[in-house]
Chain A
Amino acid sequence: GIQVEQSPPDLILQEGANSTLRCNFSDSVNNLQWFHQNPWGQLINLFYIPSGTKQNGRLSATTVATERYSLLYISSSQTTDSGVYFCAVEGMDSSYKLIFGSGTRLLVRP
């Protein structure tokens, strides 16, 4: 099945810094989503982005489908950005089966 790798596994930032999280996937996808899991465990959908670029406030994401990777950018980080960021993909032949990466754990210090 499709493999999803995220990097880095852990990231510590000072408040106000920028960061880039990466998601590599092993096969073509028709669905790619980014999620944030806050320190209390709640999962929130950030982006649906199987290709192209999207922005939402301080967050933006870019997926280069032909090269099988996606990037999540966090600018001017805040302590509330702390948590785990997951990338999840659905392969072309795997309808409705979202496969998650192991995540990037982000800690933003004040």
Chain B
Amino acid sequence: NAGVTQTPKFQVLKTGQSMTLQCAQDMNHEYMSWYRQDPGMGLRLIHYSVGAGITDQGEVPNGYNVSRSTTEDFPLRLLSAAPSQTSVYFCASSYRSGGQETQYFGPGTRLLVL
């Protein structure tokens, strides 16, 4: 298993540009989520999905869109990049079974918006 993969690893954008951060998992997990991590802070939830076709907003959804057309993929779209979106983005997937949950994180995408 490759686990959770994210592309690209690093990206530089200009203000106003759009882009899509890719996330894929091969563990057949129902739950997937996107977080951003800013320096000295914990992770903040952007959007999450509990299955194909179902998405919902997290703590900081403004400026981001998601879709979940398949179980495996959960792309994050930045509609019009702003310097405030400079951050490290993590994708995660998890399963819940028998009162237990384990979250698996991707390696992260470092985004710089100029």
When C-beta atoms are compared, the residue in chain A nearest to B107 turns out to be A42
Given A41-B88, A41-B107, A98-B33, A48-B100 contact (CB < 8 Å): yes
The segment out of B12-20, B37-45, B73-81 that lies at the interface is: B37-45
Given contacts A1-B59, A97-B48, 16 further A-B contacts (CB under 8 A): A4-B42, A31-B101, A33-B103, A35-B103, A35-B105, A42-B105, A43-B90, A43-B92, A43-B105, A45-B102, A48-B100, A95-B50, A100-B35, A100-B42, A103-B41, A103-B42
- Bound together, the chains give a CA A33 to CA B94 distance in angstroms of 12
| Cβ A100 vs Cβ B44 within 8 A | yes
Q: Interface of A with B (CB < 8 Å)?
A: 1, 4, 31, 33, 35, 41-45, 48, 86, 88, 95-103
Tell me the dominant secondary structure on chain B's binding face.
Answer: strand
Tell me the dominant secondary structure on chain A's binding face.
Answer: strand
**B64 within 8 Å of A by Cβ?**
no
Interface residue from A41, A88, A102 paired with B40 (Cβ < 8 Å): A102
